[in-house]
Chains A and B, each alone.
Chain A
């Protein structure tokens, strides 16, 4: 069965500092991996996705993530945090072969930005 674990329910960084949000997955088959962002009282928006092409994936708003099979990780990074990055971030996994099209979401990490 697939699962995803996000380490740290809350991360706080200073404006301009590196953002690192951690995600580890469990999958018996090659997975598709996603990062979503949710601003308060809104739905989720796709930030980026890994679909077995390049292991370093670039997304919107300056975010990127690297797929590391040996570490079963897909951590999200951004070199310099902005105040507008304050939101909840969700990592998600889906097995590549799946016809049921069910994506499994992590429990989320709330990112706060200090001025």
Chain B
């Protein structure tokens, strides 16, 4: 079955370390997105990519970086510059249009220790 795979499910990071969250999709979708979710704040867009080798900043891009070298993959790096990285991170994809909404992965919970 087609879908989006996020790994790992849980991730612990020491302060000052960079960490990369994986997002892979086999839906042949052009567009991919990264969201951050904190309790009571809904979803906030970090980065999105509408095509390979191109991506744009979302509303809260500071302290994060992404790459889109392959259509199937959109990894997110949480850098040491991100002051409060503990959160639930969601990856999503769409076929580039908005008719069908987004397909979401199951998320990665990042905790800084």
Contact = CB atoms under 8 A, between A and B. Distances in A.
Given A9-B40, A44-B104, A90-B42, A103 B109 contact: no
Given A41-B107, A43-B90, A43-B105, A101 B97 contact: yes
Interface of A: 9, 32, 34, 36, 41-46, 49, 51, 90, 92, 94-96, 98, 100-103, 105-108
Given A41-B109, A101-B31, A101-B50, A107 B42 contact: yes
A59 B90 CA distance: 23
Contacts of B99: 32, 51
A58 B6 CA distance: 30
Contacts of B103: 46
Contact of A108 (B42, B98, B102): B42
Nearest to A106: B42
Nearest to A4: B42
B100 interface: yes
Interface of B: 4, 6, 31, 40-43, 45, 48, 50, 88, 90, 92, 94, 96-107, 109
Contacts of B101: 32, 34, 36, 46, 49, 92, 94, 103
B98 A103 contact: yes
A49 B43 contact: no
Contacts of B92: 43-44
A34 B96 CA distance: 16
A98 B97 CA distance: 8
A106 B43 CA distance: 8
Contacts of B109: 41
Contact of B107 (A32, A42, A90, A100): A42
A99 B11 CA distance: 34
B66 to A, nearest CB: 16
B107 A103 contact: no
A4 to B, nearest CB: 10
B105 to A, nearest CB: 5
